[in-house]
Chains A and B, each alone.
Chain A
Amino acid sequence: MKLTGAEMVLKAFEKEGVSTVFGYPGGAILNLYDHLYDSSIKHVLTRHEQAAVHAADGYARVSGKPGVAIATSGPGATNLVTGLANAYMDSVPLVVITGQVPTFLIGTDAFQEADITGITLPVTKHNYLVKDIKELPRVLKEAFHIATTGRPGPVLIDFPKDVQAGKGEFSYPEEIDIPGYKPNVEGHPGQISRAVKTIKKARKPVIMGGGGVVRSGAYEELKEMAQKGNIPVALTLMGLGGFPASHPLYLGMPGMHGTEAANYALTEADLIIAVGVRFDDRVTGKLDTFAPRAKIIHIDIDPVEIGKNISVDVPIVGDLKKVMQNLLHRFQPGETGEWLKTVEQWEKTVAIDKKERDRDLIIPQEVIKAISDVGGGDAVVTTDVGQHQMWSAQHVRCENPRSFVSSGGLGTMGFGFPAALGAQMSNPGKTVFCITGDGGFQMNLQELATAVYYRLPVKVAIINNSCLGMVRQWQELFYNRRYSQTLFEQGPEFAHIAEAFGARGIKVEKPERVRDAIQEALDTEGPVIMDFRVKTGENVFPMVAPNEPISKFMDRGDA
């Protein structure tokens, strides 16, 4: 069958089960868009390429399927870079197609030419520049395979205009053989036996689960291991939802803004079973004081992560779900009764400090708690980055996997709103909240147009503290209260902006109005922007200063 390059891409989408793509057209990708015009594939037109890739990211995180984004060459492609880096850091499967100038113009600084494969080398799992249509079917197959297997990640295909227009024989490969890409999924049986023995001997074990739990779908296995072994569980930001927050063995999130229970338990533990985590500095604090008495079993699909930051006693490379299943077949619980009693004494949740409050001001954490209560455990929550993100991690009770979507590794402001649109696209019946800040929301608020056009009923809660809260907090704590460029004294009326785009806008200034506003938003069809005016200067606690032991919480009085 002879097809044009552009047709081949759409055929590959069909073969891979892609029903929705996100993108933005332009000169060098016109041929693909021309064929999309009569395709059954739903294309969501965002208002900025960055939003397209974030939306594809949100779509992938919630659905578990690869997200697809399309942009033109040059500026269209460079606008994707942040989104690619974001997906790469958080191991999100994306296939991204960029237009490119025709092959005969490549390297001439042609109009809207950018070396996007060169630019995105460090932020993609792999990328391709397809110069010959004969390679295209194989490249498409490989791209989906690489994006979705092993440690997932974004794969970019740069697609010159003449290759889009050219014709070639199309047969989509059924089999795949990439000699340099063979992820190890099974896990070494000898190491698994060692892990079984180590767990049996442990008296103070803790399971630390991360994004890998969610990516590999190992929730049931995690729960089974915790329950069989009576082992408490801490979840990193990326792991939230991988273990039910209401479970009695749940300790909360560890790290810089972690709970007392999670941080103390990791510090006191004699064994850490680290599953799908990468020991990020925000989790470990000062490395040489992290888990000083613990042996470490580290299970991860990516061999690079094992031994990168922390030396490991039992390394197991493999797919988490598979490895945990194998481990559970031979599992023998240790005696952890005393340990659980110790752990019980520590705070597993974060209390909201209510003393010396001005009763007329909304407490930001209360808004987030209310969203969690009113929305129930079933909603999807996306966040931006900063204080509201940490408060969300602390106060949203995540019961289900793939229900908490946040930019963990890269910490991308502007991610939350487009990610919420993608999340909603993947699951039209779900309630999707985007908890954001007045800073983050302004980085991609043009997407209100997308939300309104596609009638995506996303409920956006802006925790509006008229400042860049987290940066301001650091200035308060570590930079002598010199608030350099962090105070937004003249913020916009977000409710008016929402109305101007055709969405519903609700401004909330009184604490007693918070729950009603959330209910009103839920009762409203279509997108709603809630502008919660909260106190400037509220800080995120608990807090461990950077590069300090995670057991050393700062005193709230320091603030």
Chain B
Amino acid sequence: MKKILAVLVEDKPGVLARVAGLFSRRGFNIDSIAVGETTEPGISRMTITVEEDSSTLEQVVKQLNKLVNVLKISNITEDPSVSRELMLVKVKADPQNRGEIQQIVETFRGKTVDVSMDSMIVEVTGDDEKLEAIKLLLQYYGIKEIVRTGNIAMVRGSKETQSQ
């Protein structure tokens, strides 16, 4: 099962390399990692999605905690939370089937952000399940390129994930 970790780190050069390197050398499987700023200056937040059993996950968390630049780790897998990912898909499209594709995109509340003679770029946001679903449909027309941001997640309600 996929596990989601919210990790607060110091915003310093090399921190991403420290975190990513830890995963590779300890043999942990990383599904996605997304990094960005927080409300606190000098602190970044990483959302790390891993595909590991709970005993390995415990090791992941402990090992991450040992990194001096890592401030806090919350396993939010079990918490009620909102998780989102943004995906851009360049799909083959000609004037005949553009409308059909547009319908699919609208069903998934996505957007068409670029159109050319033989392709279009579609933007979709959602959880993993939703993105996989639209990807499957678009494959029918032929996908030329995909780019994804990786998962970001936040716990519902007033609970905050802060460094202190």
Give the B-binding residues of A (Cβ under 8 A). Answer: 117-118, 121-122, 126, 129, 146, 178-181, 302-304, 307-308
Contact = CB atoms under 8 A, between A and B. Distances in A.
Contacts of B66: 302, 304
Contacts of A129: 13-14
Interface of B: 9-10, 13-14, 17-18, 21, 25, 55, 58-59, 62-63, 65-71, 163
B71 A179 contact: yes
Contacts of B68: 126, 146, 178, 180-181
A307 B55 contact: yes
B123 to A, nearest CB: 35
Given A121-B21, A307-B59, 20 more contacts: A118-B17, A121-B17, A121-B18, A122-B21, A126-B68, A146-B68, A178-B68, A179-B71, A179-B163, A180-B9, A180-B67, A180-B68, A180-B69, A180-B70, A180-B71, A302-B66, A303-B62, A303-B65, A304-B59, A308-B59
B151 to A, nearest CB: 23
11 contacts: A117-B14, A121-B21, A122-B21, A122-B25, A129-B13, A179-B71, A180-B9, A180-B70, A303-B65, A307-B58, A307-B59
B133 to A, nearest CB: 38
Nearest to A306: B62
A318 to B, nearest CB: 15
10 tightest Cβ-Cβ pairs between the two chains A and B: A304-B62, A126-B68, A181-B68, A180-B71, A180-B68, A303-B62, A122-B25, A180-B70, A179-B71, A121-B21
A90 to B, nearest CB: 17
Nearest to B21: A121
Contacts of A302: 66
B17 A304 contact: no
Contacts of B9: 180
B36 to A, nearest CB: 19
A302 B63 CA distance: 10
A117 B63 CA distance: 19
A111 to B, nearest CB: 23
Contacts of B25: 122
A303 to B, nearest CB: 5
B70 to A, nearest CB: 5
Contacts of A122: 21, 25
Contacts of B163: 179
Nearest to B13: A129
Contacts of B14: 117-118, 129
A180 B21 contact: no
Contacts of A304: 59, 62-63, 66
Nearest to A305: B62
Contacts of B10: 179-180
- Residue from B9, B59, B62, B70 whose CB has the most chain A CB atoms within 10 Å: B62
A302 B59 CA distance: 12
Nearest to B63: A304
Contacts of B67: 180
Which among A117, A122, A180, A303 has the highest number of chain B CB atoms within 10 Å? A180
Contacts of A307: 55, 58-59
Contacts of A303: 62, 65
A324 B94 CA distance: 75
Nearest to B25: A122
A480 B151 CA distance: 53
Contacts of B18: 121
Contacts of A117: 14
A180 B12 CA distance: 13
A122 B23 CA distance: 11
A515 to B, nearest CB: 48
Contacts of B59: 304, 307-308
A146 B69 CA distance: 12
Contacts of A180: 9-10, 67-71
A126 B69 CA distance: 9
